[in-house]
Structure formats: structure tokens, C-alpha cells
Amino acid sequence: MMETLTKIMATALLPVTAMAFWRMGSSLLTYYIYKRFTVLKELMDIGKARVDDERIAGTAVICGGSIAGLWAARICADHFEDVVVVEPEAWIMSNDGSKPIYDERGDKIGSTEHRPRTRVHQYFAAHVFWNLSLLALRRLFPDFEKELLKRDGKIVEAELNCYTWAGRVFRSSKHWYPEGEAPQIFSCSRDAYERLLRCLVMKSSSRIRQVTGTVTGVKPFADDHSKIEKVVVSKSDSDGTKLLEIPAALVVDCTGATQAGFKWIKRLCANTNSQEIGSDRWNKLIDSYNIHGNWKAFDFFVPPEIRAVVSIPGGYDNYKWLYTFIPFPGCENKLFLINRIEGHRIRYSFYGWGNPPIPESPEGILDYMATVKSDVPVPQWAFDLLSQLLKVNEIQVYTGKMPLMNWVHYEKAPFVPSNFVAIGDAVMKVNPTFGQGCTKACIGAIVLDNLLRSPRYAQTRKVVPGFSSEFFKIHHDKIVDAWNGTKPMDYMFSTTTPVKGENLDDEKISGTFALLLLEVATEDSDVDALLCHMRQFIAPAANLYAPWVFWRVLKFCLNKKIRKLWEETV
Ligand SMILES: Cc1cc2nc3c(=O)[nH]c(=O)nc-3n(C[C@H](O)[C@H](O)[C@H](O)COP(=O)(O)OP(=O)(O)OC[C@H]3O[C@@H](n4cnc5c(N)ncnc54)[C@H](O)[C@@H]3O)c2cc1C
Ligand SMILES: *[C@@H]1O[C@H](CO)[C@@H](O)[C@H](O)[C@H]1NC(C)=O
Ligand SMILES: *[C@@H]1O[C@H](CO)[C@@H](O)[C@H](O)[C@H]1NC(C)=O
């Protein structure tokens, strides 16, 4: 009797036990995936400075003083005795590079101009900065929001008003946060962000120094070629050009699009006979492809007299991102965006794949928008707004070339000095359609912080062997989603020149799936929220393999098929 009872109970409990194990297993898996592919856990630790007698001796030399460089400087100031930022462009290192151009009302302060950056070509291109950047900024700079508002920047709902050929995507995922506030991002131009970040970083620590000059190379220790002793800087002034050598405990390559660090390491390797590695093997470390195109931005000033009547959904004070259009490969290759930036300006920006036509003049935008090929036409308000702005005729125009998309695979390099790391565009340049570049730079800095904080390195006062290879391995996984999330779609455009040795067809399956997901997202707000979280680096792309996503995609495809059959029969 007893035995039968036990048996019955065991049988009854089996599904429950199995369920519990399955739950535990899947939450362990979730934990592992988040830990490996996002920096959400690491983020919690940033900003805690080492005590003085535990700091790493010597100087962290940051090469490049733009977004990645500023993030790296802020992080290194928590771990090193001394931090030097080397940047060739003199004016950004002066007060000019940090001070605001507009006050909190959006009025211009004095005569400060929008100066172009020689080496940062996308300085005036449309930029969105994702949630992860905001989370990190808020942790590091308690007064971030106050300072942002003082410069006429805004904290807004993460809502891009983004339309694809099939409908709207990247809507605010507030339905995932029924109790909390709606997901947020900060809104301002790339140049305003850089100025503000420089101001906050330089104010944050007296350990950070700036040197005007161009890093031209690195020198290893005479008796240990696996470690950099000095960074060589070329400094020009009225007396001519001088070479300066800065002893370095750590070298952080933040030279962005120029990816100068790769050349330094390659040269260092060639000069030290101990490492016989052919240049061919080095060049294979870079995956690079070309989507072909230029970008152009028109900044229209909105004068006070038309602010109340301007044709913007929700009114002029609705500061959300106004409009984004993403085309369907093969049908259209133009991409455009409309957003409001500080200083009462509305920016219309254009780019795309395969050298799409770009408006020659501000008036040309009307025709451009009218001829965009999509099932969802550009809304009337965008035309009306433009007509109003054209009448005002206070316009700035900026243009630039789309860079090559590429990824320097340091994690596969045959040799990297143990005290050399690279972050930001110096490692990877991705298609800017999903606006990930600046947040990717912030992620690099968080990875660096976390590694310097890990027990292996926190106990020592120097950067020990193995540091850089460990950094590049971890960093690879934290940024891989940005590459894998853009390259397949880029390969769906027949005009793209693929990575050497690859065919566009190699990404056919991933590309088709990526496009299908966007289409599903137009109807399914959970899939949309997931994609939006992935783009913001607050969810790993591996989440797409969840059974519920598979089910929703299947349901969408079946529905679509049935709808099509129905339309054919009636
Ligand atoms: C059209 C376009 C649109 C974009 N839109 C977005 C977007 O919406 N959101 C987003 O997040 N990102 C966007 N990006 C990408 C983003 O702009 C970059 O990812 C970001 O600027 C990278 O910052 P960085 O500091 O790594 O490099 P960079 O901004 O390239 O800065 C590199 C710095 O290094 C300095 N430097 C160069 N060589 C040397 C040297 N030898 N020694 C010392 N210093 C040196 C330069 O002067 C510069 O200050 C866009 C890019 C493009 C092209
Ligand atoms: C974004 O950041 C804010 C705080 O900075 C937070 O409240 C919000 O939940 C974050 N998440 C998303 C999905 O935007
Ligand atoms: C990224 O894409 C490559 C090539 O398609 C693939 O081998 C790799 O597993 C992908 N990584 C992740 C984390 O998705």
C-alpha cells in the first residue's frame, strides 16, 4: 500500500521536479548569456576608485580624446596614479572643446561656433545615444542630467518613430516596465555630447592631463619586447615639430576611424626580430567591407515666432526622435532621419547603401521624401515642417563619406603587447543605422574597468602579462552583437562589397532572418521590445533563440500566408 502511494506521488511530482530543474537550468543559462554578452553586471561596479596606495603605478596613456578616449580616461582615473590623453586637435583640448554652445533655453551663448573636427568626419551626422550610455553616465556623473539640460539637451523616452517598408519598429518598450518609468535615452547632437563628456571627465579627476600631439608609435622595453615602455608623440608648435616620449603603464588606443594602434603594433612586431609574423597574417586580422555611400545633414533653425505653429506631432516641445526610415533591400536603398537637437534646430539626415541619391539642396528634400519607396509613405507633417523651415532659410549643411565597416580582430592576433588595449571605433566600425558606435565605446571602457577590478589584477600595482589578451577576448563577446546585427543586413544590399574572401550570399540566411524579424516587430510589440533592447546593448542577441520568439515568428508567417491566400481567393 505504502509503496504504491510513494510511486503515485513520485509520478505526480515528476513533472514538477522536471519543471523546477528546467527553470533553474534556463535561469542559469540566462545568467551566463547576459554575463558573457552584455556589461549590465559590470556596470554596477564602475566609478569606485582604488585607494591611493593600491593604484597602478605610472601613467595610463589614452591615444585620442574623443568619445572612446574620454570614457577610457574617466575609467583609468579610478585605477592609475596618472592619466594622459593625447589628442592632435589643439582646440578641443582648450576650454573651447568643453564649453556649451547653447544655454538651457537653447539660445546661443556668445560667439562660440560649431567648429568642425578634422579627424572625426561624422561629427555633425545624426546620432542617437542608447540607454546603456545613459545608465553609465548617470552612475559616473551624478550631475549628468543637470549639465545636459543646462546645454539644452534632453532626457526623452526611447522612441525612434522608426518606420521600415512594412511598418513601425523600435517603439518605446514601456509595456515591459508596467511599474517603472518608460525607458529613456538622452538626446543632443554628437558634438554637444562630446563637449559635455569632456567637461564632466576633466572635472571628475585632477589626475587626468591633456597633451596636444599625434601618437606616432610605441616603443617596447629593451629587455622585454612583450611590453610597451613608451608612447611616441609628435608635437607641432611654432618652433617646429618635436618628438616626445611618454612612459606608459597602459596604452589605450582610442584613435577611432584611423585605427592607428594596429599600425603601431604591426610595426613594433616587425622591428623586434623575436616575433617573426608576416604582414599577410596581420592583414588577415581585419574584416572590412564597404556599403558605399555618403551622408549629408541639413540643420534648420526654428525661430521663436514659428515654434508654436510648427508641424510636429505632439507640438514643438515634444522632443522625441521625430522620424527614421529604414528601407527594404532590393526595393529601396535610401535611409533618412529627422530629429531635433539643442539650439532649436531640426536635423534632416540622409545616407543609405550603394551611393543612393542624396538631396543636393534643402528644397531637394521634398522630392527625396516623396519618392521614397515603401508601403508606408513619409507622413505629411514631415513635408509641412520642411516647407515651414525652408521659408525661414537658416540652414547649415554638412556632408561626409561613409567609412568602411571593419573589425580589427585583436583577439586573434599572434602577438599584442600585454599593456595595450583598444576601444571604440579603433576596434570596430559598424553601420550606423542602429546608432551603436558611441555606446560601443562606452562598453569598451566598462570592460576595461571590470578587468582592472577583477581579483587577478586588482591585487597588483602594475599591468601584468596576459592582461591585453584577456581584455580582447572579453571585449570581443561584448561587441559581437553589434557586428552580427548589422553585417547580414548590409550584405542583403547587392551594392555592398563584401569582406575579402566572402560572398554576399554567405549572410543570406542571417540577413533574411534579420529582415523577417523587423517585419514581425512591426506587429508584435514584444519582439519589437526585444530588438530594441538588443540594439541598446541591454539584452544579448542570444535572446532571439528563446522559444517564445520562435513561436511568434512562426505565428506571424502563418498569419501572413493565410492573409495572402485569403486575398487571392476573394
Ligand atoms: C554617418 C554616421 C552616423 C553615425 N551615427 C551614430 C549614432 O547614431 N549613434 C552612435 O552611437 N554612433 C554613431 N556613429 C558612430 C560614432 O560616431 C562613432 O562610433 C564614434 O565617434 C566613435 O568614437 P571614437 O572615440 O572611438 O572615435 P572617433 O570619434 O573617430 O575619435 C577618434 C579620436 O582620435 C584622435 N586621433 C586620431 N589619430 C590619432 C593619433 N594618431 N594620436 C592621437 N589621437 C588621434 C582623433 O582626433 C579623434 O579625436 C555614426 C557614424 C557615422 C559615420
Ligand atoms: C534606461 O535607463 C534608465 C535610467 O537611466 C532606466 O530607468 C531604464 O529602465 C533603462 N532601461 C531601458 C530599457 O531603457
Ligand atoms: C556572429 O556571427 C558569426 C559569423 O556568422 C558566427 O560564427 C558567430 O557565432 C556569431 N556570434 C554570435 C555571438 O552570435
Report the pLDDT averaged over residues 256-281: 82
At 228, the pLDDT band (50, 70, 90 cuts) reads very high
Report the pLDDT value the prediction gives residue 282, as an integer from 0 to 100: 85
Looking at all shown ligands, the one closest to residue 170's CA atom is: 2
167 alpha carbon – ligand 2 mean position (Å): 25
SS3 443: helix
Supply the DSSP symbol for 66. S
pLDDT 10s digits, 469-525:
999 999 999 999 999 999 999 999 999 999 999 999 999 999 999 999 999 999 999
The class level of CATH for 43-153+188-287+404-479 reads: alpha beta
Atom of ligand 3 minimally distant from the CA of 483: 1
Report the pLDDT value the prediction gives residue 559, as an integer from 0 to 100: 93
pTM: 0.94
* Secondary structure element (H or E) that encloses residue 289, with its range: strand 286-289
548 alpha carbon – ligand 3 mean position (Å): 21
**Top-confidence residue, 568 or 471:** 471
Question: Residue 443 CA to chain centroid, in angstroms?
Answer: 8
Answer for the pair 523, 169: CB distance below 8 angstroms, yes or no.
no
**Top-confidence residue, 282 or 478:** 478
Helices (H), 454-546: 455-458, 467-484, 487-491, 508-523, 525-535
Q: Rounded to an integer, what distance in angstroms lies between the CA atom of residue 367 and that of residue 162?
A: 20
pLDDT 10s digits, 99-153:
999 999 999 998 777 888 888 989 999 999 999 999 999 999 999 999 999 999 9
Q: CA nearest 385: which of 419, 414, 362?
A: 362
Over the chain, what is the mean pLDDT? 93
Ligand 1: does its nearest atom lie under 6 Å from the Cβ of 132?
Answer: no
At 1, the pLDDT band (50, 70, 90 cuts) reads low
Report the pLDDT value the prediction gives residue 167, as an integer from 0 to 100: 92
Report the pLDDT averaged over residues 29-37: 93
257 alpha carbon – ligand 1 mean position (Å): 6
pLDDT 10s digits, 182-212:
789 999 999 999 999 999 999 999 999 999 9
Report the pLDDT averaged over residues 525-539: 95
252 alpha carbon – ligand 3 mean position (Å): 26
Report the pLDDT value the prediction gives residue 550, as an integer from 0 to 100: 95
Report the pLDDT averaged over residues 27-34: 90
Q: Whose C-alpha lies nearest to ligand 3, atom 6?
A: 484
At 273, the pLDDT band (50, 70, 90 cuts) reads low
Position of cell 542624396? 358
Residue 330 has pLDDT above 70, yes or no: yes
Report the pLDDT value the prediction gives residue 310, as an integer from 0 to 100: 92
Q: Whose C-alpha lies nearest to ligand 3, atom 10?
A: 484
424 alpha carbon – ligand 1 mean position (Å): 8
Report the pLDDT value the prediction gives residue 108, as an integer from 0 to 100: 94
Q: In what order do the strands lie in the sheet with 224-237?
A: 214-221, 224-237, 240-247
% of the chain exceeding 90 in pLDDT? 80
Report the pLDDT value the prediction gives residue 275, as an integer from 0 to 100: 53
At 12, the pLDDT band (50, 70, 90 cuts) reads confident
Report the pLDDT averaged over residues 72-98: 95
Atom of ligand 3 minimally distant from the CA of 540: 13
347 alpha carbon – ligand 1 mean position (Å): 19
Residue 274 has pLDDT above 60, yes or no: no
Ligand 3: does its nearest atom lie under 6 Å from the Cβ of 516?
Answer: no
Q: CA nearest 200: which of 336, 327, 2, 67?
A: 67
Ligand 2: does its nearest atom lie under 6 Å from the Cβ of 133?
Answer: no
pLDDT 10s digits, 398-417:
999 999 999 999 999 988 99
Report the pLDDT value the prediction gives residue 23, as an integer from 0 to 100: 80
Supply the DSSP symbol for 89. -
Ligand 3: does its nearest atom lie under 6 Å from the Cβ of 543?
Answer: no
Alpha-carbon Rg for the chain, nearest whole angstrom, is: 26
% of the chain exceeding 70 in pLDDT? 99
**Top-confidence residue, 201 or 23:** 201
Answer for the pair 50, 79: CB distance below 8 angstroms, yes or no.
yes
Range from 113-122, 245-254, 272-281, 459-468 carrying the lowest mean pLDDT = 272-281
Answer for the pair 249, 59: CB distance below 8 angstroms, yes or no.
yes
Q: Rounded to an integer, what distance in angstroms lies between the CA atom of residue 152 and that of residue 145?
A: 11
Position of cell 595595450? 420
Helix, strand, coil % over all residues of the chain, rounded to 5: 45, 20, 35
SS3 341: strand
Report the pLDDT value the prediction gives residue 221, as an integer from 0 to 100: 95
Answer for the pair 426, 64: CB distance below 8 angstroms, yes or no.
yes
- Four-point Cα dihedral 527, 531, 532, 534, nearest 10: 140
Residue 216 has pLDDT above 60, yes or no: yes
